[in-house]
Structure 1
């Protein structure tokens, strides 16, 4: 029987360490493989010259690979086997594609610390609930190294015969 897979999208960096540590512990508890994901999206650049966009995409990919390599090393030091994956595109769409492609069992999203976050906890809760429903996979929301909420997708409704 294959090991369960936990997907953890991360931007890396020191502020995400407490959440990463919680994900590493969860992977150990569940004896799960860990997939670390970094998503880049440069669509906000709009009409910037294509050559500059391509260069920026490559630089962002390289930064993502570096940050994930650091997280992967930390996971291995914590006794967890982790794969890394850098993808381009809109976060929601990429997440759904990766969940399906890798037969992910659980997704963990990290909410930023209240001190450093650009998004709110309410926004993250809404996002987790919507993505869990869309993908059919449980989502865990972690903040400051603690699981703050679990989102279980509702079973599909049965059609009346």
Structure 2
């Protein structure tokens, strides 16, 4: 099964594509989609949508895990992230993929069994679970891979 994990943001959206067969997970690709601060919000969202759409068309994930907003330092940040999340959800829905949303707490618990794990602990688990030589960089990509792993490990009840 192919799973796409997304850590949404307006400046940097992390993505991670993994294959999951039974208890074996492999990273296929990961990175970030960057948008220019010089562009207006609509243009940045359009760019993000097109890049997410390309990822989905190329890898054809059967599941897409998207990190949800748990808290933000201020309302403007939360609204901006919500715009990016909406674009990611739209692209996933247009592709008719199964969409699963996870809070940072759920992702931490799925990877470490501990909801208060720090960023380094999560990154080390991503490295170990995916059998990578080093911690994935940048952090947004590692977070997206963590979201994909969470999606693979979580049973979905409908």
TM-score range, shorter chain: 0.3 to 0.5
Rg (Cα) greater in structure: 1
State the TM-score, normalized to the length of structure 2. Answer: 0.37
TM-score, normalised by the number of residues in structure 1: 0.37
